Homo-oligomer: A and B are copies of this chain.
């Protein structure tokens, strides 16, 4: 492995005068790493002249511009983003900082990309690698590493910490601890949960259990509250023994489901705080010989792709993830342009995606 392949006489050929008798050989492509230095040498001008040409600054003769431009094209030169960002404060690059590239964050990423089209910005998505050590505080760490040099602003996806204060050019999507200092975009978890439970109520269910999420996360709290509010609004008393914590994770969710379904008087429907829990509930029901949806109705939350593939396909509450990315980006661009945000905290509507896992309870008309 050669670190730097022989740059065969590029330096030699510039000799002539301008580029008179120069390029006979294909092109001194080199190892994909042409610097401004090399362009300058090849063109027989100074580095600063090349820089001026590239940035369209005044004070360069048309002739020189043409010549340098040709050399640039021939060499396939492109300014190093890194070197440039070290000098300039403006980079025209937006960053999307994620803990890891999984379904939720990549969906947000698509929304960001949508919103950025035509804005002239480039997009960089960064993940510290998803390794354990980086877990806590990844958002602050990533921000420190990139902000102010590589990127002009950042969209933070599902940050746990929102008290970072990075110059005001940061927007959080679905912050885990709820809107605080940072401008943020989130789905309306409260409304979503109400919608999900109302769907069940409308179907005729009254004994509706819930598998809740991680109690330290705002989204989980709101989803539980939505459940309670929907029941209350329908005049149904919440049976606390029907509320079990699933922590947004597979194993705890399975146990919660088992708890609920092994009772002598199981609920006729279960509302799960996320699709993952709902999917586990489906599995537990199957193990118990229960027929979903006829013996048990299940409604989830999130609408992850897997939900559509479940057996039966899961009825769930959909978050407009992609639109959340778009909206956050719009807010970010506003911030970057120096304007203030009219509404620093946006909440987007959710909706129920009706599939096959919830129907009227046995015996209902």
Chain B residue with Cβ nearest A310: B308
Q: Are A167 and B131 in contact (CB under 8 A)?
A: no
Residues of B within 8 A of A120 (CB): 129, 131
Chain B residue with Cβ nearest A81: B145
Task: A269 to B116: give the CA distance in the assembly, Å.
Answer: 37
Task: A149 to B309: give the CA distance in the assembly, Å.
Answer: 40
Chain B residue with Cβ nearest A181: B1
Kindly identify which residue among B83, B148, B164 contacts A86, using a CB–CB cutoff of 8 Å.
B83
Of A62-70, A98-106, A222-230, which stretch is located at the interface? A98-106
Task: A82 to B76: give the CA distance in the assembly, Å.
Answer: 23
Task: A167 to B82: give the CA distance in the assembly, Å.
Answer: 18
Q: Are B123 and A127 in contact (CB under 8 A)?
A: yes
Chain B residue with Cβ nearest A144: B78
Q: Which of A106-136 contact B (CB under 8 A)?
A: 106-107, 109-110, 112-113, 116-131
A33 within 8 A of B: yes
How many copies of this chain?
2
Q: Are B77 and A82 in contact (CB under 8 A)?
A: no
Q: Which of A64-92 contact B (CB under 8 A)?
A: 76-83, 85-86
Q: Are A123 and B117 in contact (CB under 8 A)?
A: no
A57 within 8 A of B: no
State the Cβ distance, A310 to closest chain B Cβ, in Å. Answer: 9
Q: Are B145 and A79 in contact (CB under 8 A)?
A: yes
A28 within 8 A of B: no
A313 within 8 A of B: yes
Residues of B within 8 A of A294 (CB): none
A291 within 8 A of B: no
A263 within 8 A of B: no
Task: A131 to B121: give the CA distance in the assembly, Å.
Answer: 9
Q: Which of A148-205 contact B (CB under 8 A)?
A: 148-150, 163-168, 180-181
Residues of B within 8 A of A168 (CB): 1
With contacts A85-B82, A102-B110, A149-B81 taken as known, whether A167 is within 8 angstroms of B117 at the C-beta atoms is no
A147 within 8 A of B: yes
Q: Are A83 and B34 in contact (CB under 8 A)?
A: no
Q: Are A34 and B144 in contact (CB under 8 A)?
A: yes
A55 within 8 A of B: no
Q: Are A150 and B82 in contact (CB under 8 A)?
A: yes
A4-B163, A124-B126 known; 17 other A-B pairs, CB under 8 Å?
A2-B163, A3-B163, A31-B166, A33-B144, A34-B144, A77-B144, A82-B82, A101-B112, A101-B125, A116-B129, A119-B129, A123-B129, A124-B124, A124-B127, A150-B150, A305-B305, A308-B309
